[in-house]
Amino acid sequence: MLNFFGHEKQWQLLQKSVKSGKLSHAYLFSGKSQLAKREVAKEFIGLLSCQSKSFENKPCQQCQSCQEMKKGCHPDLLWLEAKEETGESEIGSIRNLANWLHLKPGLGKHRLAVVNQIQSFSLPAQSALLKTLEEPKGEAILILISDYPEFLLDTIISRVQEIKFHCLSDKRIIDFLLSKNVDPKLAKRISCLSLGKPLKALSLLDSGQMKSEEKRIMAFKRMLKKDLVFSFKEIEKTVEEKETLLSGLETWLNVLRIIFLERIGVIKEDIMDREEQIALPNLKNLMISLEKANYLLMKTNANKRLILENSILELY
């Protein structure tokens, strides 16, 4: 069972709607990355599809539906992930999903479809999805997930029930970690590195994950010391790791944010070991440039390596 820390309200709302039967035909789970939108969607699907007679038992993990869900081959669930390639095949996938949703459910009451990271789909593909949203059929339920809902068509937003996922305050993350008997110094560091994201805070409790995050931070700090050869090699490595490229970039931005806050006195502790050699304007320009890079990497097929190399040159 998922740890709902930080997302209790969203979960209660979804639970209530299943219990009362007042369901929307389409939901949008929106909010920054690592806010457990995907995980909550999976639990919601479990709740919607479980065949147990007692609501309190759902998802029971025992019924045929729960078993099929566990095996990842439930006949009433279609899960679509954003892919790198775009164009006709993408529109085709959305049209298939729309047709599939209109079929009768095989096991349970609902036909369920999820589109993860819908903002990564092209505008024509998003438009193709609109038709499904305009003509909901039967008991089908569509769940859209997006880290960047600001890139979605307004016409999509207006036709779905949006469930917003929020970042938590540092204090809430620290209090949670302290309640788990985490050392106060470590709790403070985790809260700083997790940016208010409960899932990230939980993952950093794992020493292996914490180690790789610290390694990433160390490497970035070396880049900030204007070691250009190292910087370019590190960028090459970061770009190759497609899966973690955006989370890597997020770590970089977070390091800069913390240094910036330390420098202007908002953060009193020395969390990132002050990088005195970076002039404040360079720091600001690098932050702006990496924010832009984040957008370009997500929305375009521009040369990732070149974008990041240009950003790092803001230090010089």
Residue 33's contacts (CB-CB under 8 Å, 6 or more residues apart) are 147, 197, 246, 247, 250
Smallest gap from Cβ 304 to Zn ion, in A, equals 43
Smallest gap from Cβ 38 to Zn ion, in A, equals 20
Smallest gap from Cβ 45 to Zn ion, in A, equals 11
Smallest gap from Cβ 60 to Zn ion, in A, equals 4
Amino acid at 167: C
Q: In what order do the strands lie in the sheet with 112-116?
A: 77-81, 112-116, 141-146, 26-30, 161-164
Q: Which is nearer to Zn ion, 63 or 156 (CB)?
A: 63
Smallest gap from Cβ 111 to Zn ion, in A, equals 17
Distance spanning both ends of the chain, measured CA to CA = 49
Q: Which is nearer to Zn ion, 52 or 86 (CB)?
A: 52
Residue 184's contacts (CB-CB under 8 Å, 6 or more residues apart) are 178
Which residues of the chain form contacts with Zn ion (CB under 5 A)?
A: 50, 52, 60, 63, 66
Rounded distance, CA 118 to CA 135, Å? 19
Q: Which is nearer to Zn ion, 50 or 308 (CB)?
A: 50
Q: Which is nearer to Zn ion, 60 or 271 (CB)?
A: 60
Rounded distance, CA 208 to CA 153, Å? 39
Is the separation of the CB atoms in 106 and 75 below 8 Å?
yes
Amino acid at 24: S
Q: Which is nearer to Zn ion, 33 or 52 (CB)?
A: 52
